[in-house]
Copies of this chain bind each other. A is one copy, B any other.
Amino acid sequence: MPGQDIKLTSTSYIVLGLIDLRGPSTPYDLKGLLEQSVANFWPVPHTTFYAEPDRLAGAGYLTIDQEQGGRRRKTYEITPAGTDALRTWVQTAEASSPVMHDEGMLLVFLGADPEPVNRARIVWHTEKLTELEGYLDRQVKANGPAGVIRSLIAGTMYHRMCIEMHEKLLALSDASAE
């Protein structure tokens, strides 16, 4: 039986989803996982994130198991109500439109030299690509969850396309510079 009922936000579903993937976890465990996955396409500040498990537990979506000695870590486990809410949301939610925050584009818009911006972006996307390829490799080897693998495939594809795009843009400005 739930205590209070609370409004479930995307942060809630992230916490539920990560626990569902990983089994019983401490918030810190989840945070590590978050940073290697969800944070790449849906950033969540850690203060918001840390506050969420207790909210969810209060409403009956998670249970808490607290260590008695030492650090008194809390381990959270998902309840049937939790998996239920998660599955329902995943199957019925409509995704809102993607939103970009790209300061480089802003600089270009305002008249900055596009070349250094494009170069910096290529470096950044290349690093991200390497990082995600690493995760993907591990997930495939470990036969990880289909959704996780799909999101990693999409992520690597995305960064490759961005690199290509910035290279094209560089070529364009080279061409017009002559």
Give residues in A with beta carbon < 8 Å to B: 10, 13-14, 17, 37-38, 40-43, 86, 90-91, 93-114, 117, 120-121, 124, 145-148, 150-151, 153-155, 157-158, 161-162, 164-165, 168-169, 172-173
Contact = CB atoms under 8 A, between A and B. Distances in A.
A66 to B, nearest CB: 27
Contacts of A99: 43, 100-102
Given A103-B95, A172-B153, A38 B148 contact: no
B14 A106 contact: yes
A114 to B, nearest CB: 6
A173 to B, nearest CB: 8
Contacts of A124: 97-98
Contacts of A162: 161
Nearest to A92: B112
Nearest to A155: B105
A82 to B, nearest CB: 13
A110 B147 contact: yes
A108 B42 contact: no
B95 A107 contact: yes
A112 B91 contact: yes
Given A13-B106, A41-B101, A105-B151, 13 more contacts: A10-B106, A13-B110, A41-B100, A43-B99, A93-B107, A98-B100, A98-B101, A98-B124, A100-B100, A109-B148, A111-B146, A111-B147, A157-B168
